[in-house]
Amino acid sequence: MLRNFLVALMLALVAADGVQAQTAEKTTPAKNDYSKAETWLCRPGREDACAVDLTTTIVSADGKLKEEKFVANPNAPIDCFYVYPTVSNDTTPNSDMNAGPEERSVIQHQFARFGVQCRVFAPLYRQVTLAALRANLLGRPMAVDRALAYNDVLDAWKHYLANDNQGRGVVLIGHSQGSGMLTQLIRNEIDGKPAQKQLISALLIGTNLAVPKGQDVGGAFKNIPLCRAATQTGCAISYVTFRENVPPPPNSLFGRALGDGMVAACTNPAALIGGSGALHAYLAAAGRGNTSSLEPKPWVTPPQPLKTPFASVPGLLTAECVSNEKGSYLAVRVHGNPADPRTDDIVGDIVVGNQVQTNWGLHLIDVQIALGNLIDIVGQQAKAYQAKQKKK
């Protein structure tokens, strides 16, 4: 299940970054009814894809293990609206509206943990499938309907605004193809429009969000700047990750934006103001294929199996935004110490035939590698947003 999810993430930006596909015949598919419970993976107050085990083992540098429990906030003051990346294993060009294990898995790894800060909303949508993306890569494009996927997200958003929002602040969260969907949604429905007043922030991860070089606004969005402080609201966080010692190669899929004078946005969730900061990661704890096709090394020596689905490694990872001739990206440094019992590295690279695919960077774990930082930022932004609302 997780292997399929991660293979899908390997391909998730293909549709957004230039691989051509045949266009589906012009038909008018029936709209989804987002008043129906089954059209949502997550909604507040129910047992669904967000009601999953998020228990984490904290792996300290001295080898000590400690469990961290997760409890969602039933009285969260804000909302989070999430659009997942390309994960569908359906064999059709566009997915159906039946949630499979792959959709539920990505919720557990990328989104459910935000329930500590917000009410959670995650619609199903008829995305371009993994089968279609594979066909594209093999030169046998399938007839996909890209507008169908976007229109589903749009309909879900409109239903949420009309029936659930009730004037609350909202954070938009996406990864890869999901970020592409949300970028289009923000551009069409939020940027410079009344709904912008309710935008706390947009977390558009694993995508090449265009901004003019040296500026924070004016590319993909006209009125929504990049976030440069955790108390700043109405802004966007966007980055792509690479190992510090393996920067984007010339054929990189990430780190460069289209358009004269444009660069890919990089906002470091570990240090929004700039410079380096410690990453608070929530990584898959066990199993080959959980985060790459490499076999992960034991978390500690001598090996001890972790009993939780996630692991956290305080002090092991830092990151800093880099912008140079290779691109604009979040450079991740691993501070392994052979003298201590904790692992000296993490997995997350895409490997094909024992060869690391450096043009993908750490795309597989873009979200997970900084998930704790992102959740903390959303919490601070929520407080700042509420304080502003009280002054009105």
The verdict on residue 28 lying in a domain is no
CA dist 108 and 106 (Å) reads 5
- Provide the pLDDT for residue 287: 55
pLDDT in tens, 172-220: 999 999 999 999 999 999 999 999 999 999 999 999 999 999 999 999 9
Binned at pLDDT 50, 70 and 90, residue 266 comes out as very high
CA dist 328 and 209 (Å) reads 10
- Provide the pLDDT for residue 26: 57
- The number of distinct structural domains making up the chain is 1
The verdict on residue 14 lying in a domain is yes
> How many Cα neighbours within 13 Å face the side chain of 16?
28
pLDDT in tens, 158-175: 999 999 999 999 999 999
Q: Which residue has the higher pLDDT, 24 or 133?
A: 133
Percent of the chain with pLDDT over 70: 91
- Encoded tokens for 36: 């129906």
Q: Are 88 and 95 in contact (CB under 8 A)?
A: yes
The verdict on residue 176 lying in a domain is yes
Which ranges of 13-67 would DSSP assign to H, the alpha helix? Answer: none
The verdict on residue 204 lying in a domain is yes
The verdict on residue 27 lying in a domain is no
- Provide the pLDDT for residue 338: 96
Residue range 49-68: average pLDDT? Answer: 98
The verdict on residue 332 lying in a domain is yes
Mean pLDDT of the chain: 91
Binned at pLDDT 50, 70 and 90, residue 293 comes out as low
- Ranking 18-22, 359-363, 375-379 by mean pLDDT, the lowest is 18-22
- Provide the pLDDT for residue 194: 96
- Provide the pLDDT for residue 302: 96
pLDDT in tens, 218-229: 999 999 999 999
- Does residue 388 carry a pLDDT above 80? yes
Q: Tell me whether residue 181 is exposed, middle or buried, using C-beta atoms within 10 angstroms of its C-beta: 0 to 12, 13 to 18, 19 or more.
A: buried
- Provide the pLDDT for residue 292: 56
CA dist 301 and 281 (Å) reads 20
- b/e code 248-274 from CB counts within 10 Å (16+ = b): beeebbbbbbeeeebbbbbbbbbbbee
- Does residue 13 carry a pLDDT above 80? no
Percent of the chain with pLDDT over 90: 81
- Provide the pLDDT for residue 5: 39
Q: Is the torsion defined by CA of 297, 302, 303, 305 positive or negative?
A: negative
Range of the domain at 283: 2-20+38-391
Strands 56-59 and 65-68: antiparallel
Residue range 108-128: average pLDDT? Answer: 97
Beta strands in 28-146 (DSSP E): 40-42, 56-59, 65-68, 78-83, 118-123, 143-144
Beta strands in 199-250 (DSSP E): 199-205, 210-212, 235-237, 241-243
Q: Is the torsion defined by CA of 213, 216, 218, 219 positive or negative?
A: positive
pLDDT in tens, 125-166: 999 898 998 888 788 899 988 899 999 999 999 999 999 999
Q: What is the pTM of this model?
A: 0.93
- Provide the pLDDT for residue 172: 99
Beta strands in the chain (DSSP E): 22-23, 40-42, 56-59, 65-68, 78-83, 118-123, 143-144, 170-175, 199-205, 210-212, 235-237, 241-243, 262-264, 277-278, 283-284, 310-312, 317-324, 327-334, 351-352, 355-356
